Structure 1
Amino acid sequence: MEIITGIPDGWPADDAAALAVQDELRDRVVLDEPGPPPGGGLVTGVDVAYDDERDLVVAAAVVLDAATLEVVEEATAVGRVAFPYVPGLLAFREIPTVLAALERLDSGPGMVICDGYGLAHPRRFGLASHLGVLTGLPVMGVAKNPFTFTYEQPGPRRGDSSALLADDGTEVGRALRTQDATKPVFVSVGHRVGLEGACAHTLALARRYRLPESTRHADALCRRALKEVQQAAVQP
């Protein structure tokens, strides 16, 4: 598998530069569009896996038919980690490789679902927002944990939800129960999609399991691709 060695020209190299980019791009986030209707068209899950020893990141993009949840297309890319590990700035580590995976798709990705955050981010500009602004695509985030925000436990049934709240009481996402009596997931808008629509997309994609099928497929694919890279590295 080809390794993308280049980091984009002008890519931030330190915290101050990355924070400045977030400040510049945050105002470009579109929050007043409902997004594509759930249950139709295409949806694309993106996820990454790391090889810390070799300083590599593997990104996967998996396109699903939103009605049937069948895989339409998939792509991967491998790159050098583009930024050090800093909480709140994780998008800068992986976005170049995620973009490379998306660019390898022949079909339009439709709605993109990240394993991470959008508005539910300390600076209101997580991976889903960053990726949405750079691509112009509707993007949302579905995370396994609530990061720094607070919430009340939603009801026990599938579809029950509660507000994910910032310190000032602003709703930045939802804790959403996707299956009866399971832990909730944490949904936030990224770009060009509303919160109600993002929750509806999540439920439509999580028909059998806690996590959306888009996330499950992308997670499995990037892990398989990472193993291939690691096996190739140790072959004589």
Structure 2
Amino acid sequence: MHDPTAEWKDLTPQQAIRLQQQAAGEVITRDDLPMVTTVAGVDVGFEGPDIARAAIVVLRLSDLKPVDHAIARQPVPMPYIPGLLSFRECPVILEALGKLSRKPDLLLCDGQGTAHPRRLGVASHTGILSGLPTIGVGKSRLTGRHGPVPEEKGGWTALEDRGDTIGAVLRTREGVKPLYISPGHRISLPTAIHYVMACVTRYRLPETTRWADGIASRRGQRWLDQLPARPQWTE
């Protein structure tokens, strides 16, 4: 199978931006999901400046228990350039997805979806390349403006940029900083908010992000020790 990211290491920043602009036109921001019984989180860490480590953890939506996971490592194809993070992260994310025993119904990415200057953050780019429904779950704002965020859990306000609603600023826990939620691919903003909140327990981050972030980081072994030894797909 042709790997669409194989030539990325030779891209100039200008060429990468043109590819982003083209791919942004393929993003679907309406609901086009299967019945969601499994959700996954993906996060990318870095082992030194040149090696990316992607961790994906699949959870049952019903109880948010892990049922499968995968880790992949790759040299990064280009240096860090603001706004072009997906060109560093998507190749290793796709490799990790290929290692799962089966793909999840919905993928929550640690990063932006349409809440991006060119409407193609890592969640949207991953969705286009993989075909999966994806959501961007950002810990900080990349672009856009918003008003006050309601203080109650589940409260949100629109994130807007140049006349477009590009995401939501969502309070997942009272008294903590909000998250920046945006459609990645094949999902609407209201549905993205719904599934993020369905994955939230008592923490600021949804369980998908917490698991993936834990495994992708230097604390990974502690999280790996809690995972099942083999996929457990019983509904």
TM-score (norm 1): 0.87
**Corresponding residue number in structure 2 for 1:47:** 43
CA offset digits 1:163-197 (Å, max 9, x no partner): 1111x232100000111121111100010001001
- The one-letter amino acid of 2:189's match is L
Aligned to 1:49, the other structure's residue is in SS state strand
- In the alignment, is the contact (CA less than 8 A) between 2:214 and 2:220 conserved in 1? no
User: Displaced runs of 4+ in structure 1, greater than 6 A?
Assistant: none
Aligned residues: 219
**Corresponding residue number in structure 2 for 1:132:** 127
TM-score (norm 2): 0.87
Comparing 217-226 with 13-22, which one deviates more in the overlay? 217-226
1:198 to 171, 192, 196: 192
- In the alignment, is the contact (CA less than 8 A) between 1:82 and 1:93 conserved in 2? yes
1:170 to 164, 169, 172: 164
Task: Give the distance between the partners of 1:225 and 1:181, measured in 2 at CA.
Answer: 26
Aligned to 2:90, the other structure's residue is in SS state helix
Task: Give the distance between the partners of 1:32 and 1:51, measured in 2 at CA.
Answer: 36
**1:153 offset after TM fit, Å?**
2.2
CA offset digits 1:126-164 (Å, max 9, x no partner): 111111111111001011111122111211100110011
Is 1:93 aligned with 2:88?
Answer: yes
- In the alignment, is the contact (CA less than 8 A) between 2:33 and 2:105 conserved in 1? no
1:159 to 154, 162, 165: 154
**1:26 offset after TM fit, Å?**
1.4
Task: Give the distance between the partners of 1:7 and 1:67, measured in 2 at CA.
Answer: 34
**Corresponding residue number in structure 1 for 2:137:** 142
**Corresponding residue number in structure 2 for 1:181:** 175
Task: Give the distance between the partners of 2:183 and 2:202, measured in 1 at CA.
Answer: 23
**Corresponding residue number in structure 2 for 1:232:** none
Distance change >3 Å, CA 72–CA 224, structure 1 → 2: farther
Distance change >3 Å, CA 222–CA 7, structure 1 → 2: farther
Distance change >3 Å, CA 226–CA 183, structure 1 → 2: closer
Task: Give the distance between the partners of 2:71 and 2:92, measured in 1 at CA.
Answer: 9
- In the alignment, is the contact (CA less than 8 A) between 2:108 and 2:209 conserved in 1? yes
1:26 to 13, 24, 27: 24
- The one-letter amino acid of 1:116's match is G
Aligned to 2:77, the other structure's residue is in SS state coil
**1:7 offset after TM fit, Å?**
9.9
- In the alignment, is the contact (CA less than 8 A) between 1:18 and 1:89 conserved in 2? yes
- In the alignment, is the contact (CA less than 8 A) between 1:7 and 1:82 conserved in 2? no
Task: Give the distance between the partners of 1:90 and 1:218, measured in 2 at CA.
Answer: 18
- In the alignment, is the contact (CA less than 8 A) between 2:29 and 2:189 conserved in 1? no
Q: Structure 2 stretches of 5 or more lacking a match? A: 222-235
- In the alignment, is the contact (CA less than 8 A) between 2:40 and 2:108 conserved in 1? yes
- The one-letter amino acid of 2:174's match is D
Task: Give the distance between the partners of 2:188 and 2:4, measured in 1 at CA.
Answer: 32
- In the alignment, is the contact (CA less than 8 A) between 2:89 and 2:122 conserved in 1? no
Task: Give the distance between the partners of 1:103 and 1:225, measured in 2 at CA.
Answer: 24
Is 1:209 aligned with 2:207?
Answer: no
**Corresponding residue number in structure 2 for 1:78:** 73
Aligned to 2:114, the other structure's residue is in SS state coil
Fraction of identical pairs, as percent: 39
